Amino acid sequence: DKVLVTGANGFIAVWVVRKFLEKGYAVRGSVRSADKGKFLKEMFKSYGDKFELVVVEDITKEGAFDEAVKGVDAIAHTASPFYLDAASVDELIGPAVNGTTCILKSAAKNGQGVKRIVITSSCASVVEVGNDKVFTEKDWNELAIKEVKEQGDEASGLAKYFASKTLAEKAAWEFYEKNKSDVKWDLAVLNPPFVFGPIIHDVKGVDSLNTSARQWHDTVLVDGKPKDFLTTQGESWIDVRDVAEAHVLALEKEAAGGERIIISEGSFVWQDWIDAANSLSPSPIPSHTPLPVGYPGAGRTAKPPVVYDTAKEKRILDLKYHTKEETTRDILADFEKRGW
Ligand code: NDP
């Protein structure tokens, strides 16, 4: 079977592509320019013609994926902007929402062989900041949509990103509900919280790291973070390799069709990652000795910032999650190799 993976050069997507190839699938990866795909061609050259690239310059343009969806059996749509300092609402919501509806429209029109579409949504479209409840797949982040509606470009960067993911996922379900009797495919949506893990995408340096990896890097390796931040702030998390595995399972498991699924290892406050880094012996990153220590153990007694119910994931996907220590070891070993 052949899978189209959109935004194939991203932090999560390269692991998704790799996982599909390892499992024997052929992959067509979409990127915005041929240049951005060069490292992928090199990385996956041992797979020969089982890995190919397609350039889709503007994912928001009507018909953008009309050619790319031809001849594939499934689609994993990961492309979407993720940064927290957007100046305008439109720069995030435009590509997030229109990118999603564009690929669904192209799949409806030209994706005769497509049986399932997996969308990389986010817990951003589930969680409402400040609400203490245990969040489930029934929850939607209406708060972010409200903030963006009321405040426009003055809304916080976080709200803009959260709203972009919520509106994109809503648009996907709406399109599917309207068209499901006419299309041969169904939809499965994954909702990961913060994603951390070693990097295999093309990154020139720390400054160009993707948002979640950059936050992890700066928290664990840069000293002087305030106590309040380290011991009360955090979210839930999942290892990037488990996210990749979840994409394969969401495509293969019949029961994932028609479902949004929260995938999460558990919660963290940022101090937990500092503790995990300091617990490893020998240090995977000897060039940073000593590592910042923050406020050792404070995470153990901290209130978990956000809690998700992952019963649906257990029932349908049954992921084996990496632990904080395993993920930390592999990230730090990767940083050491890069001299960061
Ligand atoms: P990256 O920034 O590493 O990757 C984002 C991908 O989307 C890149 O391929 C990028 O292409 C593409 N993209 C961004 N903006 C546009 C645009 N305007 N038009 C077309 N393509 C675009 O981020 P991640 O790998 O972290 O994110 C991948 C997906 O996972 C996103 O949907 C994100 O919302 C979701 N996610 C991420 C989490 C995390 O913690 N990392 C948590 C939960 C969900 P280009 O390189 O050309 O810009």
User: Which of the four pLDDT bands, split at 50, 70 and 90, describes residue 301?
Assistant: confident
On the question of pLDDT at 69 being above 90, the answer is yes
| Atom in ligand 1 nearest the alpha carbon of residue 95 | 18
**Beta-sheet strands, E only, within the chain:** 2-6, 26-31, 51-55, 74-77, 116-120, 134-135, 186-191, 194-196, 234-239, 259-262, 266-269, 307-308
Tokens (6 digits) for 219: 């928290």
Question: What was the pLDDT predicted at 130?
Answer: 87
On the question of pLDDT at 323 being above 90, the answer is yes
pLDDT tens column, 178-208: 999 999 999 999 999 999 999 999 999 999 9
Q: What is the DSSP letter of 234?
A: E
Tokens (6 digits) for 235: 């979210």
On the question of pLDDT at 87 being above 90, the answer is yes
Tokens (6 digits) for 278: 């300091």
User: Which of the four pLDDT bands, split at 50, 70 and 90, describes residue 114?
Assistant: very high
Please give the mean pLDDT across all residues of the chain.
Answer: 97
Q: How far is ligand 1, taken at its centre, from the CA of residue 19, in Å?
A: 18
**Cβ-based burial of 182 (10 A; exposed 0-12, middle 13-18, buried ≥19):** exposed
pLDDT tens column, 257-273: 999 999 999 999 999 99
Q: How far is ligand 1, taken at its centre, from the CA of residue 49, in Å?
A: 25
Q: Residue 219: which H helix or E strand, with range?
A: helix 211-221
Helix, strand, coil percentages for the chain (3-state, nearest 5): 45, 15, 40
On the question of pLDDT at 248 being above 90, the answer is yes
Q: 161, 302, 310: which is closest to 242 by C-alpha?
A: 310
Q: How far is ligand 1, taken at its centre, from the CA of residue 82, in Å?
A: 5
What's the Cα-to-Cα distance from 110 to each of 5, 63, 114, 209, 337, rounded to whole Å?
16, 10, 9, 35, 44
End-to-end Cα spacing for the chain: 39
Question: What was the pLDDT predicted at 300?
Answer: 85
Give the whole-angstrom CA distance, residue 190 versus residue 143: 20
Q: In what order do the strands lie in the sheet with 2-6?
A: 51-55, 26-31, 2-6, 74-77, 116-120, 186-191, 259-262
On the question of pLDDT at 274 being above 90, the answer is yes
14-30 residues labelled b (16+ CB within 10 A) or e (exposed): bbbbbbbbeeebbbbbb
pLDDT tens column, 9-65: 999 999 999 999 999 999 999 999 999 999 999 999 999 999 999 999 999 999 999
| Atom in ligand 1 nearest the alpha carbon of residue 94 | 18
Sorted by where each starts, the structural domains of the chain and their CATH numbers stand as: 2-198+236-267+307-321 (3.40.50.720)
What ipTM was assigned to the predicted interfaces of this complex? 0.99
Question: What was the pLDDT predicted at 75?
Answer: 99
Give the whole-angstrom CA distance, residue 64 versus residue 7: 13
Ligand 1 binding pocket (C-beta < 6 A) is 7, 9-13, 32, 36, 59, 78-82, 95, 99, 120, 122, 165, 192, 194-195, 210, 212
